[in-house]
Chain A
Amino acid sequence: MSEDLSSKYILQTAGFDARFPNTNQTRHCFQNYTDYFKCIAAKGEDFAPCKQFKRAYNSLCPNEWIAKWDDQRENGNFPASLEP
Protein backbone atom coordinates (compact mmCIF):
# COMPACT_ATOMS: atom_id res chain seq x y z
CA MET A 1 0.00 0.00 0.00
CA SER A 2 2.58 2.55 1.10
CA GLU A 3 4.91 1.47 -1.70
CA ASP A 4 2.13 2.17 -4.20
CA LEU A 5 1.57 5.64 -2.86
CA SER A 6 5.24 6.61 -3.03
CA SER A 7 5.36 5.65 -6.67
CA LYS A 8 1.93 7.04 -7.43
CA TYR A 9 2.64 10.51 -6.10
CA ILE A 10 5.98 12.07 -6.84
CA LEU A 11 6.69 14.79 -4.30
CA GLN A 12 7.84 17.44 -6.70
CA THR A 13 6.90 21.05 -7.37
CA ALA A 14 8.02 24.11 -9.30
CA GLY A 15 11.64 24.76 -8.38
CA PHE A 16 13.52 27.90 -7.51
CA ASP A 17 13.67 30.30 -10.45
CA ALA A 18 16.54 32.78 -10.35
CA ARG A 19 14.41 35.34 -12.24
CA PHE A 20 12.07 35.50 -9.25
CA PRO A 21 14.23 35.45 -6.12
CA ASN A 22 11.92 37.63 -4.03
CA THR A 23 9.02 36.98 -1.70
CA ASN A 24 6.73 38.37 -4.40
CA GLN A 25 6.05 35.44 -6.73
CA THR A 26 3.22 37.02 -8.75
CA ARG A 27 5.27 37.19 -11.94
CA HIS A 28 6.66 33.69 -11.39
CA CYS A 29 3.12 32.36 -11.71
CA PHE A 30 2.18 34.67 -14.58
CA GLN A 31 5.35 33.95 -16.54
CA ASN A 32 4.76 30.20 -16.44
CA TYR A 33 1.14 30.68 -17.49
CA THR A 34 2.04 32.77 -20.53
CA ASP A 35 5.03 30.56 -21.34
CA TYR A 36 2.81 27.49 -21.44
CA PHE A 37 0.43 29.00 -23.98
CA LYS A 38 3.29 30.40 -26.01
CA CYS A 39 4.89 26.95 -25.93
CA ILE A 40 1.83 25.06 -27.15
CA ALA A 41 1.18 27.75 -29.76
CA ALA A 42 4.66 27.08 -31.13
CA LYS A 43 5.03 23.34 -30.63
CA GLY A 44 1.52 21.96 -30.22
CA GLU A 45 -0.36 20.71 -27.20
CA ASP A 46 1.32 17.30 -27.17
CA PHE A 47 4.85 18.61 -27.02
CA ALA A 48 6.04 17.15 -23.72
CA PRO A 49 8.41 19.94 -22.57
CA CYS A 50 5.46 22.37 -22.51
CA LYS A 51 3.94 20.34 -19.68
CA GLN A 52 6.63 21.68 -17.39
CA PHE A 53 5.15 25.19 -17.63
CA LYS A 54 1.66 23.89 -17.00
CA ARG A 55 2.79 22.00 -13.89
CA ALA A 56 4.55 25.12 -12.66
CA TYR A 57 1.65 27.50 -13.12
CA ASN A 58 -0.76 24.98 -11.61
CA SER A 59 1.47 24.73 -8.57
CA LEU A 60 1.99 28.47 -8.21
CA CYS A 61 -1.16 30.25 -9.40
CA PRO A 62 -4.35 30.32 -7.33
CA ASN A 63 -7.03 28.31 -9.17
CA GLU A 64 -9.25 31.37 -9.23
CA TRP A 65 -6.60 33.29 -11.18
CA ILE A 66 -6.15 30.45 -13.66
CA ALA A 67 -9.91 30.31 -14.23
CA LYS A 68 -10.04 34.08 -14.73
CA TRP A 69 -7.16 34.03 -17.23
CA ASP A 70 -8.68 31.09 -19.10
CA ASP A 71 -11.87 33.12 -19.47
CA GLN A 72 -9.91 36.13 -20.64
CA ARG A 73 -8.09 34.06 -23.24
CA GLU A 74 -11.42 32.78 -24.55
CA ASN A 75 -12.84 36.29 -24.68
CA GLY A 76 -9.68 37.61 -26.29
CA ASN A 77 -8.95 40.16 -23.56
CA PHE A 78 -6.00 38.45 -21.88
CA PRO A 79 -3.62 41.29 -20.99
CA ALA A 80 -0.46 39.84 -22.55
CA SER A 81 0.63 38.56 -25.91
CA LEU A 82 0.60 34.76 -26.22
CA GLU A 83 2.26 34.75 -29.64
CA PRO A 84 5.35 32.55 -29.56
Chain B
Amino acid sequence: MLQNFSIFKTIFNDAPQPWQLGFQDSAAPGFTGIVELHNTIFFYLVVISVGVFWVLGSIIYYYNSKKSPIVHKYLNHGTLIELIWTITPALILIAIAFPSFRLLYLLDEVISPTITIKVVGHQWYWSYEYSDYVNESGESIEFDSYMLPESDLELGQFRLLDVDNKVIVPVDTHIRLIVTGADVIHSWAVPSLGIKIDAVPGRLNQTSILAERAGTFYGQCSEICGVWHGFMPIAVEAVPVQDYLAWIDSN
Protein backbone atom coordinates (compact mmCIF):
# COMPACT_ATOMS: atom_id res chain seq x y z
CA MET B 1 0.00 0.00 0.00
CA LEU B 2 2.73 2.41 0.96
CA GLN B 3 4.47 1.56 -2.29
CA ASN B 4 1.81 3.50 -4.15
CA PHE B 5 3.01 6.79 -2.72
CA SER B 6 6.03 7.98 -4.57
CA ILE B 7 8.04 8.91 -1.48
CA PHE B 8 7.81 5.34 -0.20
CA LYS B 9 8.72 3.76 -3.50
CA THR B 10 11.68 1.45 -3.30
CA ILE B 11 14.25 2.01 -5.98
CA PHE B 12 16.64 -0.90 -6.18
CA ASN B 13 20.27 -0.39 -6.94
CA ASP B 14 21.01 -2.90 -9.70
CA ALA B 15 24.02 -1.23 -11.29
CA PRO B 16 27.22 0.23 -9.89
CA GLN B 17 27.10 3.83 -8.69
CA PRO B 18 29.92 6.40 -8.69
CA TRP B 19 31.95 6.09 -5.49
CA GLN B 20 29.85 3.19 -4.33
CA LEU B 21 31.24 1.40 -1.28
CA GLY B 22 28.53 -1.09 -0.42
CA PHE B 23 26.80 -3.86 -2.31
CA GLN B 24 24.15 -3.56 -4.96
CA ASP B 25 20.67 -4.64 -3.90
CA SER B 26 20.08 -8.34 -3.93
CA ALA B 27 17.73 -9.86 -6.47
CA ALA B 28 18.45 -13.51 -5.74
CA PRO B 29 18.63 -15.73 -2.63
CA GLY B 30 22.23 -16.55 -3.45
CA PHE B 31 23.30 -12.96 -3.25
CA THR B 32 21.29 -12.44 -0.06
CA GLY B 33 23.30 -15.31 1.41
CA ILE B 34 26.58 -13.81 0.24
CA VAL B 35 25.75 -10.45 1.86
CA GLU B 36 24.77 -12.22 5.04
CA LEU B 37 28.06 -14.15 5.10
CA HIS B 38 29.92 -10.92 4.45
CA ASN B 39 28.19 -9.33 7.45
CA THR B 40 28.93 -12.35 9.64
CA ILE B 41 32.61 -12.24 8.77
CA PHE B 42 32.65 -8.46 9.18
CA PHE B 43 31.52 -8.91 12.78
CA TYR B 44 34.63 -11.00 13.52
CA LEU B 45 36.73 -8.53 11.55
CA VAL B 46 35.59 -5.62 13.71
CA VAL B 47 36.10 -7.53 16.97
CA ILE B 48 39.59 -8.71 15.94
CA SER B 49 40.65 -5.32 14.58
CA VAL B 50 39.56 -3.51 17.73
CA GLY B 51 41.32 -6.08 19.91
CA VAL B 52 44.56 -6.07 17.93
CA PHE B 53 44.77 -2.31 17.54
CA TRP B 54 43.93 -1.80 21.20
CA VAL B 55 46.77 -4.10 22.28
CA LEU B 56 49.12 -2.58 19.70
CA GLY B 57 48.23 0.98 20.67
CA SER B 58 48.55 0.39 24.39
CA ILE B 59 51.95 -1.30 23.93
CA ILE B 60 53.17 1.68 21.93
CA TYR B 61 51.70 4.06 24.48
CA TYR B 62 52.78 2.41 27.74
CA TYR B 63 55.98 0.57 26.86
CA ASN B 64 58.04 3.15 25.06
CA SER B 65 61.56 3.75 26.33
CA LYS B 66 60.63 6.95 28.15
CA LYS B 67 57.66 5.57 30.10
CA SER B 68 59.07 2.14 30.69
CA PRO B 69 62.88 2.24 30.82
CA ILE B 70 63.27 -1.21 32.45
CA VAL B 71 64.00 -3.94 29.90
CA HIS B 72 62.31 -7.22 30.79
CA LYS B 73 65.22 -9.29 29.58
CA TYR B 74 63.96 -12.66 30.84
CA LEU B 75 60.27 -12.17 30.02
CA ASN B 76 60.35 -14.04 26.76
CA HIS B 77 57.41 -16.41 26.89
CA GLY B 78 54.15 -17.12 28.63
CA THR B 79 52.47 -20.45 28.05
CA LEU B 80 48.95 -19.34 28.97
CA ILE B 81 48.85 -16.30 26.69
CA GLU B 82 50.38 -18.32 23.85
CA LEU B 83 47.69 -20.98 24.22
CA ILE B 84 45.02 -18.29 24.20
CA TRP B 85 46.32 -16.56 21.08
CA THR B 86 46.65 -19.87 19.25
CA ILE B 87 43.37 -21.54 20.16
CA THR B 88 41.14 -18.46 19.91
CA PRO B 89 42.00 -17.76 16.24
CA ALA B 90 41.44 -21.44 15.46
CA LEU B 91 37.96 -21.26 16.99
CA ILE B 92 37.22 -18.04 15.11
CA LEU B 93 38.30 -19.65 11.85
CA ILE B 94 35.96 -22.57 12.51
CA ALA B 95 33.13 -20.14 13.27
CA ILE B 96 33.79 -18.45 9.91
CA ALA B 97 34.32 -21.70 7.98
CA PHE B 98 30.99 -23.29 8.88
CA PRO B 99 28.64 -20.67 7.43
CA SER B 100 31.07 -20.18 4.54
CA PHE B 101 31.01 -23.84 3.47
CA ARG B 102 27.28 -24.06 4.04
CA LEU B 103 26.77 -21.15 1.63
CA LEU B 104 29.32 -22.48 -0.84
CA TYR B 105 27.53 -25.80 -1.23
CA LEU B 106 24.12 -24.14 -1.32
CA LEU B 107 25.28 -21.93 -4.19
CA ASP B 108 26.65 -24.97 -6.03
CA GLU B 109 23.35 -26.78 -6.04
CA VAL B 110 21.43 -27.07 -9.32
CA ILE B 111 18.67 -29.57 -8.65
CA SER B 112 15.65 -29.12 -10.87
CA PRO B 113 15.95 -26.19 -13.23
CA THR B 114 13.03 -25.16 -15.44
CA ILE B 115 15.00 -23.38 -18.13
CA THR B 116 18.53 -23.77 -19.44
CA ILE B 117 20.30 -20.75 -20.89
CA LYS B 118 23.66 -21.15 -22.57
CA VAL B 119 26.09 -18.27 -22.20
CA VAL B 120 29.09 -18.07 -24.52
CA GLY B 121 31.85 -15.52 -24.06
CA HIS B 122 33.49 -14.15 -27.19
CA GLN B 123 36.14 -11.54 -27.88
CA TRP B 124 34.43 -9.20 -27.06
CA TYR B 125 30.74 -9.80 -26.57
CA TRP B 126 28.43 -12.35 -25.01
CA SER B 127 26.07 -14.59 -26.92
CA TYR B 128 23.09 -16.43 -25.47
CA GLU B 129 21.23 -19.54 -26.58
CA TYR B 130 17.79 -20.70 -25.45
CA SER B 131 17.47 -24.21 -26.85
CA ASP B 132 14.74 -25.73 -24.68
CA TYR B 133 12.17 -24.92 -27.35
CA VAL B 134 13.31 -25.97 -30.76
CA ASN B 135 10.93 -25.27 -33.63
CA GLU B 136 10.12 -27.59 -36.51
CA SER B 137 13.23 -26.66 -38.49
CA GLY B 138 15.46 -27.28 -35.48
CA GLU B 139 16.23 -23.63 -34.81
CA SER B 140 16.53 -22.25 -31.34
CA ILE B 141 16.70 -18.74 -29.93
CA GLU B 142 20.23 -17.45 -30.29
CA PHE B 143 21.51 -13.90 -30.16
CA ASP B 144 24.62 -11.80 -29.58
CA SER B 145 24.72 -9.11 -26.92
CA TYR B 146 26.95 -6.14 -27.68
CA MET B 147 27.60 -3.06 -25.57
CA LEU B 148 25.76 0.05 -26.68
CA PRO B 149 28.27 2.64 -27.89
CA GLU B 150 28.15 5.96 -26.07
CA SER B 151 26.74 7.72 -29.13
CA ASP B 152 23.67 5.45 -29.16
CA LEU B 153 22.79 5.86 -25.49
CA GLU B 154 19.39 7.25 -24.61
CA LEU B 155 18.54 9.12 -21.46
CA GLY B 156 18.61 6.76 -18.48
CA GLN B 157 20.81 4.11 -20.08
CA PHE B 158 24.11 3.22 -18.48
CA ARG B 159 27.39 4.04 -20.20
CA LEU B 160 29.54 0.88 -20.68
CA LEU B 161 26.80 -1.28 -19.14
CA ASP B 162 23.76 -1.29 -21.42
CA VAL B 163 23.62 -3.74 -24.30
CA ASP B 164 21.62 -4.09 -27.51
CA ASN B 165 20.10 -7.48 -26.62
CA LYS B 166 19.48 -8.19 -22.95
CA VAL B 167 19.17 -11.66 -21.47
CA ILE B 168 15.47 -12.13 -20.73
CA VAL B 169 14.69 -14.37 -17.76
CA PRO B 170 11.41 -15.03 -15.95
CA VAL B 171 11.17 -14.16 -12.26
CA ASP B 172 10.80 -16.81 -9.54
CA THR B 173 12.02 -19.52 -11.86
CA HIS B 174 15.00 -21.79 -11.37
CA ILE B 175 17.27 -21.23 -14.33
CA ARG B 176 20.33 -23.28 -15.20
CA LEU B 177 23.17 -21.38 -16.81
CA ILE B 178 25.67 -23.27 -18.94
CA VAL B 179 28.67 -20.99 -19.35
CA THR B 180 31.53 -21.50 -21.78
CA GLY B 181 33.99 -19.51 -23.85
CA ALA B 182 34.47 -19.53 -27.60
CA ASP B 183 38.02 -18.20 -27.79
CA VAL B 184 39.69 -17.28 -24.49
CA ILE B 185 38.60 -17.41 -20.84
CA HIS B 186 35.94 -14.88 -19.90
CA SER B 187 33.86 -14.66 -16.76
CA TRP B 188 30.13 -14.04 -16.57
CA ALA B 189 29.27 -11.96 -13.51
CA VAL B 190 26.13 -10.21 -12.28
CA PRO B 191 26.45 -8.87 -8.71
CA SER B 192 22.73 -8.49 -8.01
CA LEU B 193 22.18 -12.15 -8.81
CA GLY B 194 25.29 -13.25 -6.89
CA ILE B 195 26.86 -14.89 -9.92
CA LYS B 196 30.45 -14.94 -11.11
CA ILE B 197 31.45 -17.95 -13.15
CA ASP B 198 34.34 -18.49 -15.54
CA ALA B 199 33.63 -19.07 -19.23
CA VAL B 200 36.33 -21.54 -20.23
CA PRO B 201 36.73 -22.73 -23.84
CA GLY B 202 36.08 -26.47 -24.18
CA ARG B 203 34.36 -26.71 -20.82
CA LEU B 204 30.77 -26.19 -19.74
CA ASN B 205 30.33 -24.63 -16.32
CA GLN B 206 26.97 -24.83 -14.65
CA THR B 207 25.36 -22.51 -12.15
CA SER B 208 21.84 -21.46 -11.34
CA ILE B 209 20.03 -18.18 -10.97
CA LEU B 210 16.72 -17.34 -9.41
CA ALA B 211 15.52 -13.77 -9.87
CA GLU B 212 13.21 -12.81 -7.04
CA ARG B 213 11.97 -9.57 -8.57
CA ALA B 214 11.62 -7.94 -11.96
CA GLY B 215 14.33 -5.54 -12.99
CA THR B 216 17.42 -5.15 -15.09
CA PHE B 217 20.65 -6.33 -13.52
CA TYR B 218 24.04 -5.33 -14.82
CA GLY B 219 27.41 -7.00 -14.75
CA GLN B 220 30.71 -7.10 -16.59
CA CYS B 221 33.19 -9.61 -17.92
CA SER B 222 35.35 -10.53 -14.94
CA GLU B 223 38.31 -12.32 -16.44
CA ILE B 224 40.78 -10.27 -18.40
CA CYS B 225 40.25 -11.42 -21.99
CA GLY B 226 41.92 -8.93 -24.29
CA VAL B 227 41.85 -5.28 -25.24
CA TRP B 228 38.06 -4.83 -25.05
CA HIS B 229 37.63 -6.84 -21.88
CA GLY B 230 36.04 -3.78 -20.29
CA PHE B 231 33.54 -3.29 -23.08
CA MET B 232 31.55 -6.52 -23.04
CA PRO B 233 28.97 -5.88 -20.31
CA ILE B 234 26.12 -8.14 -19.23
CA ALA B 235 22.52 -7.04 -18.81
CA VAL B 236 19.91 -9.42 -17.45
CA GLU B 237 16.28 -8.41 -17.58
CA ALA B 238 13.96 -10.30 -15.25
CA VAL B 239 10.32 -10.19 -16.36
CA PRO B 240 7.08 -11.90 -15.25
CA VAL B 241 6.65 -15.40 -16.69
CA GLN B 242 3.88 -14.34 -19.07
CA ASP B 243 6.09 -11.64 -20.55
CA TYR B 244 8.89 -14.15 -20.86
CA LEU B 245 6.62 -16.50 -22.80
CA ALA B 246 5.55 -13.63 -25.03
CA TRP B 247 9.19 -12.83 -25.67
CA ILE B 248 9.91 -16.47 -26.53
CA ASP B 249 6.95 -16.42 -28.88
CA SER B 250 8.12 -13.27 -30.63
CA ASN B 251 11.46 -14.85 -31.36
* Complex A–B touching at CB under 8 A: yes
Partner-B contacts on A (CB < 8 A): 2, 5-6, 8-9, 11-16, 23-26, 28-29, 55, 58-64
**Tally of B interface residues using CB under 8 Å:** 36
Q: Which of B176, B203, B249 contacts A5 (CB 8 A)?
A: B249
25 pairs, CB–CB < 8 Å, chain A vs chain B? A2-B242, A2-B246, A5-B242, A12-B114, A12-B132, A13-B113, A15-B113, A16-B110, A23-B205, A24-B203, A25-B205, A26-B202, A26-B203, A29-B204, A55-B132, A58-B131, A59-B131, A60-B118, A60-B178, A61-B118, A62-B129, A62-B204, A63-B131, A63-B142, A64-B120
B205-242 near A? 1/0 per residue, CB < 8 Å = 11100000000000000000000000000000000011
Q: Which of A8, A9, A23, A60 contacts B116 (CB 8 A)?
A: A60
Partner-A contacts on B (CB < 8 A): 108, 110-116, 118, 120, 129, 131-134, 140, 142, 170, 173, 176, 178, 180, 182, 197, 202-207, 241-242, 245-246, 248-249
A59 to chain B, nearest CB (A): 4
Most A Cβ at <10 Å: residue of B108, B110, B204: B204
Question: Which residue from chain B places its CB closest to the CB of A29 in the assembled complex?
Answer: B204
The answer to whether A25 touches B206 (Cβ under 8 A) is yes
CB contacts (< 8 Å) of A11 on chain B: these are 114-115, 132, 170, 173, 241
